[in-house]
Each structure stands twice: as structure tokens, then as C-alpha cells.
Copies of this chain bind each other. A is one copy, B any other.
């Protein structure tokens, strides 16, 4: 299947399920719910939930498993969206534009944006423990919650954003650059693939292979992000291009040059695909996603 078609189909499944599961603006909490929905439904590639679905499919492509993975996929997108809302805040990166639209705090104000993020993060764990995911067995659910909480928490995504703030404007070395990327972006990407695999009842060996896959596409994803910031236009990105250069940020292209960075991204994708050697054609979506990540234009 064409990767574009696959991505469109899966994105649609995620959008539909998000629409079904997300709180509706009614009653006393309407304004708060609107602010969460604004950022959740403003668009985006839905890469993390799609990785979750593809991770499940690689282990078991049966329809029941595909359905079961959807609530986990939605929880991951809630967490990703919360992180974008908080990253964009005036006290953090102070960005006005995200996905081509005004950021949450420019529309709803700073207090509401902080709470929209808090609400989405908490709602993600609600989804993972509610009726929405009741058809995943309890032991797997606990492991999925643990995997996602660990990846999103102080030693993962939040910790990575904290490092990003601490070292802002400083010339960090490659070691720290890797640590920041691994925690800020890589951890949740790996958790997305793994949590999908857990829904499908992956073996320990399968989980290890998928962790290697996730870590490598996470790395490739970040390198390509850095490259796009140099090479793409603001219109293509839906956010200001060239912002890394302007803020004198250490990136892969600034450390290694564009050509070497692109080679590093390609090698990471090859390692990711190599890690899938024991999987049959059911892992083709994961293989295609790896190639998509390095070839994408935005």
C-alpha cells in the first residue's frame, strides 16, 4: 500500500476515535473543553498514534487488536498535544504559530492554555483506565500506563523539555543534544510503538526489537526536524522556519552539516528497519513509516 494512503487512512481512524472519545463542550466546563479541543483538533500528522496502531499491527493484524489499540493511540495524541501547548507558552518557547494556526495561549490566554495542557495530560490517563480501553486486559493496561507515564514524565518528555529550557541559547555538546532529543521527543515515540505492541500481546523479544526500532526512528525524526528548519519554508512547516538558526540553537546540521545529518538520519532508519527482521509483512507499515519519517517535507 502507498504510504500516503496508509497514513491518510490511519489518521482518519485516529481523528474519528478522538472525536468519539474526547469530551464535548457542554455544561459548566465548556470553555475548558473548547480550549483542549482547539489544539487537539487543529490538525497535525498524528505520527505517535499512527505508530501505536502500526506497532499493534506488526504483532497482530486482527481487527479486534486494531480496534483495541485506538484508545491508546488517542491517549498518546492527548499527551503530545498537551506538550505542544505547554512548550508554546510565553514562559517556554513563546510561539504564536503552531500547525499554521495561532497557538493555544494566543487564542485562550495563558491560564487557560496551562489548564488545557493539564487537562489533556490527565485525560490521557483517564482514557487508559476508563471504559474506552476496557477491552485491553488489565495487566497489559497497567504496563501500557507505566510505559507512557515513564516516557512522558520527569525522566522522559518533561525532563527533556526542562533540559531544553536550561540549555537554551547555550552551545551544548553532542552528548547533551542526544540526551535532550532522546528524552524530549524520542521517549514518547518509542512508547507509542511499544504501547501498541503491548495491546497486541507482544513477546519480550518483539518488545526489544520494537524498542530499537522506536529509538532509531525517534533519532531520525529529530534530525529531519532540524534539517527541515533549515531547508523548508514557514508555509510548508506551519511554524516559523529558520527559528533554530535565529536562536543560535545547536542542531544536527549546525554540528555535522546538512549532508552528514541526512546520512545519519538515513542510517538510523536503516537500523530501525533492520530491527524488524523477525517480523513478517505485518510490520510493513512500520517499515514504510520509517522511510516516510526521513523523506517527509514538513
A residues adjacent to B (C-beta < 8 A): 23, 28-29, 31-33, 35-36, 86, 89, 91-92, 109-112, 114-115, 117-119, 121-123, 125-126, 128-130, 138-139, 141-143, 145-146, 149-150, 152-155, 158-159, 161-163, 165-166, 176, 179, 183
Contact = CB atoms under 8 A, between A and B. Distances in A.
11 contacts: A28-B176, A33-B154, A86-B118, A117-B118, A119-B154, A121-B122, A122-B158, A125-B145, A128-B145, A129-B149, A130-B149
A147 to B, nearest CB: 8
Nearest to A91: B110
B114 A29 contact: no
A31 B161 CA distance: 12
A152 B152 CA distance: 18
Contacts of A36: 154
B119 A91 contact: no
Contacts of A111: 89, 91-92, 165
Given A111-B91, A114-B92, A162 B32 contact: yes
Contact of A115 (B110, B130, B162): B162
Given A118-B121, A141-B142, A159-B32, A126 B110 contact: no
A129 B92 CA distance: 29
A89 B114 contact: yes
A129 B122 CA distance: 14
A149 to B, nearest CB: 4
Contacts of A112: 162, 165
Nearest to A165: B111
Contacts of A176: 28
Contacts of A161: 115
Given A114-B91, A119-B153, A122-B154, A29 B163 contact: yes
Contact of A122 (B110, B114, B138, B152): B152
B129 A114 contact: no
A252 to B, nearest CB: 19
A261 to B, nearest CB: 23
Contacts of A130: 146, 149-150
